[in-house]
């Protein structure tokens, strides 16, 4: 073993009905980011530089839920957050409530390296960004048409899901309601039959209280071990669709969404509350340290034991050049590669 390794993710919890062309788009973006990271690793960039570089690319591309293309708050705005951690010495930086900084992960890095603190948020963070001269844009820059549509659906889903749970409707009623509500939703085929309508509601996978067809996987992340065995991790997100203003999720929280130490680098994604109460990212490292588990066993153990009813996914690398991932969700956008030539991009369990 040994050598470098890299993994990226674009969120856990994927609509099983995601149209094929969107799956392809996602896989192409993941592959492009992997390759970006691989090139950087081949030029001996350090792990923390590589994770920042790759997450910047994921933020800039509007496809996943970070930077441009972030999920929207209940008010239709974007509030982003990110964290980064450097394994050697466990240095870390994080930001929350970012609304005008083009690349939140880079601001998190500046917090780590240029401020006396570890975590800055909201207007204080924006002020720091201004003083640091980072690239600032209007909040509109981050908002996409896709996500405006999704916000609308999410708001309607809160009423329809509540309604269905308290009223017994005939299949026909449900089918009609669903068709009317989902007139604008490219992710659910227009429902022509009652049974399909009822089926759509009954089989509605949920994450974070939203039907899976509307739920936007919450984050992007990257973990890297470089050829010197240094691990790093970074995670970035727009957060939960239709979230309350001021809501902070797991992505900026060290030990929850992101963790790196001498042994490994970890980034998590999924239901924020489950990741926070499970201190998921730290847990992978802790079971390696305290139980002597190897990387994949540690990831599997944590997914199995620390989530209770929660849904999440994890990517991780070890200082030995290994890469691993695990998830208990329906799908996770991910890619991994190692110096020995292994490379894989996938979405589903069986990928």
Annotated binding residues for substrate, written as ranges, equal 247-250, 269-272
Query: Of residues 121-160, which lie at the interface with its own copies (CB under 8 A)?
Result: 121-128
Q: Does 287 bind its own copies (CB under 8 A)?
A: yes
Looking from the CA of 217 toward its CB, the CA atoms found within 13 Å total: 29
What does the block give as tokens for 224?
């890297």
Output the smallest distance, CB 258 to its own copies, in A.
Answer: 11
Question: What Rg, from alpha-carbon coordinates, does the chain have?
Answer: 20
Q: Does 189 bind its own copies (CB under 8 A)?
A: no
The contact pattern for its own copies, residues 300-329, with x = CB under 8 A and - = no contact, is --------x---------------------
What does the block give as tokens for 201?
């509601």
Separation between Cα atoms, residue 133 and residue 154, nearest integer Å: 36
Question: Which has the closest alpha carbon to 198: 164, 166, 154?
Answer: 164
Output the smallest distance, CB 225 to its own copies, in A.
Answer: 19
* Candidate list 37, 67, 69, 249; residue touching its own copies; CB under 8 A: 249
Q: Does 254 bind its own copies (CB under 8 A)?
A: yes
- Of 214 and 286, the one with the shorter C-beta distance to its own copies is 286
Output the smallest distance, CB 288 to its own copies, in A.
Answer: 10
State the DSSP code for 35: H
For the chain, the residue count is 351
Separation between Cα atoms, residue 56 and residue 40, nearest integer Å: 13
Active-site annotation, residues: 219
State the DSSP code for 338: E
Query: Of residues 266-285, which lie at the interface with its own copies (CB under 8 A)?
Result: 272-273, 276-279, 282-283
Question: Which has the closest alpha carbon to 230: 257, 254, 265, 196?
Answer: 265
Stretch that binds its own copies, among 37-45, 54-62, 133-141, 246-254 (CB under 8 A): 246-254
Alpha carbon 24 to its chain's center: 18
- Chain contacts with its own copies (rule: CB under 8 A): 85, 89-92, 94, 96-97, 115-128, 209, 240, 243-249, 253-256, 259, 272-273, 276-279, 282-283, 286-287, 290-291, 308
């Amino acid at each position: 073993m040994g050598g470098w390794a890299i993994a990226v993710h674009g969120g856990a919890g994927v609509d099983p009905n995601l149209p094929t062309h969107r799956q392809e788009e996602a896989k192409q973006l993941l592959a492009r980011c992997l390759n970006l990271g691989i090139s950087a690793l081949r030029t001996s960039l350090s792990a923390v530089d590589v994770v920042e570089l790759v997450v910047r690319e994921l933020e800039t591309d509007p496809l996943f839920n970070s930077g441009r293309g972030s999920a929207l708050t209940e008010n239709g705005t974007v509030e982003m957050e990110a964290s980064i951690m450097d394994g050697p010495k466990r240095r870390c930086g994080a930001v929350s409530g970012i609304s005008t900084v083009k690349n939140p992960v880079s601001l998190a890095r500046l917090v780590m390296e240029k401020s006396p603190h570890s975590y800055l948020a909201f207007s204080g963070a924006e002020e720091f960004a201004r003083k640091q001269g980072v690239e600032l844009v209007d909040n509109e820059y981050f908002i996409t048409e896709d996500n405006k549509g999704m916000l609308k659906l999410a708001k309607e889903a809160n009423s329809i899901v509540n309604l269905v749970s308290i009223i017994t409707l005939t299949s026909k009623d449900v089918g009609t309601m669903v068709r009317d509500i989902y007139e604008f939703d490219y992710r659910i085929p227009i429902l022509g039959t009652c049974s399909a309508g009822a089926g759509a509601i009954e089989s509605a996978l949920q994450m974070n209280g939203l039907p899976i067809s509307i739920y936007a996987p919450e984050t992007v992340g990257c973990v890297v071990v470089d050829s010197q065995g240094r691990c790093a991790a970074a995670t970035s997100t727009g957060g939960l669709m239709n979230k309350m203003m001021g809501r902070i999720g797991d992505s900026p929280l060290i030990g929850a969404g992101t963790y790196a130490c001498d042994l490994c680098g970890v980034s998590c994604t999924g239901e924020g509350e489950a990741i926070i109460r499970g201190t998921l990212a730290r847990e992978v490292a802790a079971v390696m340290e305290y139980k002597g588990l190897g990387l994949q066993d540690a990831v599997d153990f944590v997914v199995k034991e620390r989530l209770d009813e929660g849904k999440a996914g994890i990517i991780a690398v070890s200082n030995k050049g290994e890469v691993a991932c695990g998830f208990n969700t329906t799908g996770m956008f991910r890619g991994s590669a190692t110096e020995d030539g292994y490379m894989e991009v996938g979405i589903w369990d069986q990928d």
